[in-house]
Structure 1
Amino acid sequence: MQFVRLIVILAVVLTVFYVCISLYSRSVRRERLEETWDAAPQGDAGARRRFIEQGMADYESSLRKRLILLVYVIPICLISLIMYLVN
């Protein structure tokens, strides 16, 4: 029963961390795109919006977004290793 409780609490905590890191990473990427556009504007507000949307769509399929999933993998591997070594 203790193991199930550990898994549930760990899943909740890791999900909160994942959401926070994901939102932060998206906001940093969006801010960087806005700064890039503002440094050398190439059109009107509609073009700026499309540029940012395209950049965010590229981000959604990027390696960085997938690397954030390591928030789940690393702690689970460490806990499994610790449990194996202790037993």
Structure 2
Amino acid sequence: MGLVKLVVFGFLFLSVIYLSISVYSRSVRREKLEKQWDADNPGGEQADRDTYVEQGMAKYESGFRKKLIVLVYIVPTVAIVAILYLTNAN
């Protein structure tokens, strides 16, 4: 029963962390794209800026950096399994 609680609450905790990191990463990327557009095109059209940012965000969604955030689930799970194994192996 203790293992089930650990898995359920661990998954919920990691999900909150994953969502927080994901939202933060998206906002940082969007802000970077907006600043880049403003620096490269002073006085540019708002519609062009929005298109540029949306294309950049679409590229981000399919990029490698977004996929790295999944390690939030993998690394702690592997660490806990390793600790449990090493503790019970002795």
Q: TM-score, normalised by structure 1?
A: 0.97
How far off is 1:44 after superposition? Answer: 1.0
Distance in 2 (CA, whole Å) between partners of 1:40 and 1:65 is: 25
Aligned residues: 87
Q: Percent identity?
A: 52
The equivalent of 1:25 in structure 2 is: 25
2:53 aligned partner, one-letter code: I
Q: CA RMSD in A?
A: 0.9
Q: Residue 81 of structure 2 corresponds to which residue in structure 1? A: 80
The structural deviation recorded for 1:40 is 1.4
Which amino acid letter does the alignment assign opposite residue 41 of structure 1? N
Structure 2 counterparts to residues 1-87 of structure 1, below 5 A: 1-41=1-41, 43-87=44-88
Structure 1 stretches lacking a partner, 5+ long = none
Runs of 5+ unmatched residues, structure 2: none
1:41 offset after TM fit, Å?
1.2
SS in 1 for 2:41: coil
Give the SS at the match of 1:64. Answer: helix
Amino acid at match of 1:54: Q
TM-score scaled by length of structure 2: 0.94
